[in-house]
Amino acid sequence: MRRADHRPSRRAFLDATGALMAAGLTAGCTAESAGSGRHGAPAAPASPAPVPALGRHQAGVALPQPAQGNLLVVVADLGTGVSPGALLAELGAAIRTLTAGTDPRLLGLAPGDLTVTVGVGPRLVRAAGAALPGAADLPGTTDLPRFSRERIAPHERGGDLLLQICASDPLVVPVAAAALLERAGDRVRERWRQSGRRGPNVPVGKDLAAPRNLLGFIDGIVGPHSAAEQRRDLWLAGPPAVAGGTLAVVRRMELDLRRFAALSVAEQEAVFGRRRASGVPLSGGTVAAGPDLGAKTPDGRYLVPADAHARRAHATVVGVGLMLRRSYSIDAPAPGLLFISFQNDLRTFTATLTHMDAADALLGFTTTTASATFLILPGFDRQRALGSGLFAR
């Protein structure tokens, strides 16, 4: 019997080679090259620039600008007997390795522009103030008062610890959160968490952009954007234990989308006091210039209505400083907004909301379902641990 010859024939070789070439060309054909007739490997998406985690201020407040597209907020309590100083120092160390991309708990993901911002609640700030000589009246000791249009469960009001985690890559956010909570272990008990996304960014000034919210309007146009405004209204100047920090207000709000969408565009714009498409005030001008609150129609009506949000929340009208808003749209547990504002005086927020409560047309479409305020700790570095100015380790 003749031995079978296992060497491929010339015809079989050519057929196999042609198949491999066709497969290679197909695999390397991008949507662009398919349309243009050019072949090549798809270009890798540009990685967002890293945001320094160390410095005078924590990342995730004023930087980056614009804010990353994805966020997760975790609010937790510390267990009885837990040392805040030791916990915060460990969290700071974890933030360094996570943002540097050297932490194996990132599971091989590139951190990109990951930021983690840490705050402590009034209970912890009051305890720290009592232990520090001459620091009994630290900023951040006051709880938020209750306002109208709230439906808040007890476990979703207040809290000891805030973790605000933001990144352009949506996969990085929950992975970083899991790593931080694993580091904290059973020393913390989670109260609530909320994820959110930013809408498309719209230019609102020189090197500034703000996103659209679920109501279709640009959110966060006004704020302390310049360095001088941030020194005046955003960052805490003292006492030394908190210098370089700020105060955060976090509120989750449901939005009545159905009722708002039933309004005409003109009626929606009257609620906000701005044009929906452009963000320009109803009084005219540019987006960044702000509304002319004295401008009237020929028959004497205000161009920016008396109950418009742009008027009722205007810092000059209220008599307070500017707040920096870093809000995100949410779709669970209900469509709405995770409102986050940063300011160096809690009255900036409380006086504004009190003034809005009386007549702001926008509030009629909102219901707040979670609320808390936190002292955002000053920045940290390798020699100065997170929270070390306030808490002993």
What's the average model confidence in pLDDT over 102-118?
98
Residue 18 has pLDDT above 80, yes or no: no
DSSP letters for 2-41: PPP--SPPHHHHHHHHHHHHHHHHHHTB-HHHHHHT--BP
Q: pLDDT value at position 192?
A: 98
Domains of the chain in start order, with CATH, are 70-376 (3.30.70.1030)
Q: Tens of pLDDT along 283-309? A: 999 998 889 999 999 999 999 999 999
What's the average model confidence in pLDDT over 354-369?
97
Residue 5 has pLDDT above 60, yes or no: no
Q: pLDDT value at position 40?
A: 58
Q: pLDDT value at position 25?
A: 36
Q: pLDDT value at position 393?
A: 84
Q: pLDDT value at position 137?
A: 83
Q: pLDDT value at position 320?
A: 98
Q: pLDDT value at position 41?
A: 58
Q: Residue 38: how many CB atoms within 10 A of its CB?
A: 10
Give percent above pLDDT 70 in the chain. Answer: 88
Three-point CA angle 383, 189, 59, nearest 5°: 35
- Determine the Cα–Cα distance for residues 119 and 247; give it in Å rounded to an integer: 8
Q: pLDDT value at position 135?
A: 65
Q: pLDDT value at position 44?
A: 60
Q: Tens of pLDDT along 123-172? A: 999 999 988 876 668 999 999 999 999 999 999 999 999 999 999 999 99
Q: What is the mean pLDDT of the chain?
A: 90
Residue 17 has pLDDT above 70, yes or no: no
Under the banding of pLDDT at 50, 70 and 90, the label for residue 207 is: confident
Give percent above pLDDT 90 in the chain. Answer: 83
Q: Tens of pLDDT along 43-89? A: 666 789 999 999 999 999 999 999 999 999 999 999 999 999 999 99
Q: Tens of pLDDT along 303-332? A: 999 999 999 999 999 999 999 999 999 999
Instruction: Classify strands 336-343 and 246-255 as parallel, antiparallel or unpaired.
Output: antiparallel
Q: What is the pTM of this model?
A: 0.88
Burial of 360 (0-12, 13-18, 19+ CB in 10 A): buried
